[in-house]
Structure 1
Amino acid sequence: MAFPTSRRRALAARPAVVLLGTALLGSAALAGCADPGASAAGNPTGGAQATAARNGVVYNTSPDQQRIRAEKDPALAAKVPALISKDGKLTVATTAGSIPLSFHATDDKTPIGSELDVAQLVADKLGLELDVQVTSWENWPLKTQSGDFEAVFSNVGVNKDRVKLFDFASYRAAYMGFEAKKSATYDIKGADDISGLKVSVGSGTNQEKILLAWNKELEAKGKAPATLQYYSSDADTILALSSGRTDLNIAPYPSTVYRENTRDDLKVVGKVNAGWPSETLVAATTLRGNGLAPVISEALNEVIGDGSYGKVLERWGLSEEALPESKTITAENFAATPATATAAPSQAGKAS
């Protein structure tokens, strides 16, 4: 897939730094859930076109995705705001930094993954061409506000800060996974379990927010906080973990499961909702008040109903994160909308 130079957004690399204890959160609340690495890590096959995983999933990592497609719904297409539909495209931002959610194919330039497959279903239903734009993790909020991006499909979780600026259409449960070396004996369930450990985390993410809160808990108890470590890419992060320079990594749960099932040296040692201490959902993110989120929710509910949504998640080993329905979440209904992260019974898969 070729992208016009004027619309392409390069991923911004971040220097590796180590922060001790509880660093300031700053403006991280607006960022999404996924690790913002400049390249996806964990693919042991290098340039291979497919990876057969221990969980039974065969991951197609080639540029030729042969995506599952949906039929246009003319009535739904007519509901798309005119400012968005006038060019015939749905311009979607993604960060392409986390297998199997959003990452670069074996040609190192084509963005693929479950996030873009779901976006394709939505674009199909709305009768629009999917226009994928890869951006840096820090840029999607500003670029969505400016109108450069019409929707973000990049593992973004809903929270009280984001609903002030954006509207959401939910499409997947939101979990974070802790991973460690195969020989580790950790069982991570809460703050006490990370005391004194070195934990790698993406800057400006929900998982960082969780760790900072847990460190405050530990300090209040007089216990040693975790040392938070930051790396410029997923590849560097996983190298640090596998070499023993860090004890744990926290990342989107689907990515940790992927690595557990495609590598011999790592395993998942904990799972936490991305909205801890509450719950949240992964959602398509749109500019607040522009009328697109409700239409995306309707499109998602149609593909949930016809089974194509379930096939997409199954294709990427994400069936256990399927939702029974999409909800439109805005500042007006955020407090009253339960973040139901329970998978639809008919689409639930084996837990890893």
Structure 2
Amino acid sequence: MSRARTTLAVLPVAAALLLSACSSSADIEAEQQADTGAAGASQALVVDTSPEQADRVSTDEDPDAAALVPAPIAADGKLTVGIVGAGDPPLAFLADDNSTVVGSEVDIASLVAESLGLELDVRNISWEQWPLSVQSGDVEAVFSNVGVNAERLQLFDFATYRQGIMAFTAAPDSDLSIAEAKDVAGLTLAVGSGTNQERILLDWNKANEAAGLEPATLDYYANAADALLAIKSGRVDAYLGPNPNAVYQQSKGQVAVVGTVNAGWPNTTYVAATTLKGNGLVDAVEAGLQHAFDDGSYTETLEHWGLSDEAVDAPVVNPQVAS
């Protein structure tokens, strides 16, 4: 069995994000080899990018957690999980076969499935698809950097597994520093539609307009590759997106992290496994996560992908959020 590997530089997560311009790990590996000098003094993490994922951290079945799986979901012996796999390392990206979705989100989902005694069935979906995919039953859960907010809590149940940190990324030579609303006044910012990031920027625009400042112009991008190209070409000043991707991109010298903000601003929120409201699966997912927390496989998985700084102490079902 041949296995391709790539080196991922791990930077402190005092920073945050941008998504990769690559759609396959072959592209990622080629770019990473070209950027090895830029990563230089950073601690290196070697990650398996083969479809087989022989380096994936594993756990064992927890009978108590498995007993919580609702019978209709357990019937086929699978946990069907939706993951947005369109080239967003280290969260989710395509392996060297340009088909298999791999990454930290897949590995967390795998730990849960193993804890529940189920086979993991990954479905590669788009970000816009995930709510309807859960509601229609096409997938039973989503592990895809979904942040908990008040609106989503009306329709879905959540079990938390990471802190929700967002980051502003800009060109490597940018002199921007973004910490609060006034810092984005007059800028052109890339953002994804329907995300917590968009909500934050819309709220910041309202605050700036109330203070007599020029609002930021929001440019919407359906995928990370386009947002990265927009930064490189100067069409946007910065991009606001998930922290893990920013850590990856900064390690490659593609961008500079120029600020961070919690996804629940002005409050705190978390990234969580997402299930249909009221069908009971979330209790099983929480128990499966807790099993992975207890045996160390959760911690080992985050370390494997360089995301230790986003760890939480324990999974929580439907954490309270400000409305």
Q: In structure 2, what is the Cα distance between the partners aligned to 1:43 and 1:187? A: 32
Q: In structure 2, what is the Cα distance between the partners aligned to 1:273 and 1:42? A: 27
Q: In structure 2, what is the Cα distance between the partners aligned to 1:304 and 1:267? A: 32
Structure 1 unaligned regions, length at least 5? 1-33, 337-352
- Aligned with 1:46 (options 13, 27, 32): 27
TM-score, normalised to structure 2, is 0.86
- Aligned with 2:246 (options 241, 256, 273): 256
Question: Are residue 275 (structure 1) and residue 261 (structure 2) matched?
Answer: no
1:334 corresponds to: 320
Question: Are residue 312 (structure 1) and residue 293 (structure 2) matched?
Answer: no
- Residue by residue over 1:220-260, the C-alpha shift from the partner in whole angstroms, topping out at 9 and shown as x without a partner, is 11111111112342112101102222110111011011100
Q: Any conservation in 2 of the 1:174–1:274 contact (CA below 8 Å)?
A: yes
- When structure 1 is superposed on structure 2, of 194-203 and 227-236 the one drifting more is 227-236
2:145 corresponds to: 155
Shift, 1:59, TM fit:
3.5
- Cα 1:127–1:44 change in 2 (3 A) is closer
- Cα 1:59–1:178 change in 2 (3 A) is farther
Higher relative contact order (CA 8 A, sep 6+): 2
Q: In structure 2, what is the Cα distance between the partners aligned to 1:296 and 1:49? A: 37
- Aligned with 1:224 (options 214, 235, 240): 214
- When structure 1 is superposed on structure 2, of 194-203 and 46-55 the one drifting more is 46-55
1:65 corresponds to: 53
2:162 corresponds to: 172
1:297 corresponds to: 286
Q: Any conservation in 2 of the 1:49–1:62 contact (CA below 8 Å)?
A: no
Q: In structure 1, what is the Cα distance between the partners aligned to 2:25 and 2:157? A: 37
Q: In structure 1, what is the Cα distance between the partners aligned to 2:194 and 2:72? A: 31
Shift, 1:153, TM fit:
0.3
Q: In structure 2, what is the Cα distance between the partners aligned to 1:60 and 1:49? A: 14
Describe how 1:181-200 pairs up with structure 2 within 5 A.
Answer: 181-200=171-190
Q: Give the residue type in structure 2 aligned to 1:109.
A: S
1:285 corresponds to: 274
Q: Give the residue type in structure 1 aligned to 2:214.
A: A
Q: Any conservation in 1 of the 2:24–2:98 contact (CA below 8 Å)?
A: no
- Cα 1:227–1:335 change in 2 (3 A) is closer
- Cα 1:79–1:202 change in 2 (3 A) is same
Q: In structure 1, what is the Cα distance between the partners aligned to 2:31 and 2:52? A: 11
Q: Any conservation in 2 of the 1:50–1:61 contact (CA below 8 Å)?
A: no
Q: Any conservation in 2 of the 1:50–1:58 contact (CA below 8 Å)?
A: no
Provide the secondary structure at the position in 2 that maps to 1:132.
strand
TM-score, normalised to structure 1, is 0.79
Describe how 1:22-37 pairs up with structure 2 within 5 A.
Answer: none
Q: Any conservation in 2 of the 1:42–1:238 contact (CA below 8 Å)?
A: no
- When structure 1 is superposed on structure 2, of 271-280 and 42-51 the one drifting more is 42-51
Q: Give the residue type in structure 2 aligned to 1:243.
A: S
- Aligned with 1:321 (options 288, 303, 310): 310
Q: Any conservation in 2 of the 1:41–1:238 contact (CA below 8 Å)?
A: no
Q: Give the residue type in structure 1 aligned to 2:53.
A: Q
Q: In structure 1, what is the Cα distance between the partners aligned to 2:241 and 2:157? A: 24
Q: Any conservation in 2 of the 1:40–1:103 contact (CA below 8 Å)?
A: no
Shift, 1:58, TM fit:
2.6
Q: Give the residue type in structure 2 aligned to 1:170.
A: T
Q: In structure 2, what is the Cα distance between the partners aligned to 1:40 and 1:62? A: 19
Provide the secondary structure at the position in 1 that maps to 2:126.
coil
Shift, 1:56, TM fit:
2.2
**Structure with the larger helix share:** 2
User: What percent identity do the matched residue pairs reach?
Assistant: 50
Describe how 1:231-246 pairs up with structure 2 within 5 A.
Answer: 231-246=221-236
Q: Give the residue type in structure 2 aligned to 1:78.
A: A
Over the residues paired in the alignment, what is the CA RMSD in angstroms?
A: 2.3
Q: Give the residue type in structure 2 aligned to 1:65.
A: Q
Structure 2 unaligned regions, length at least 5? 1-16
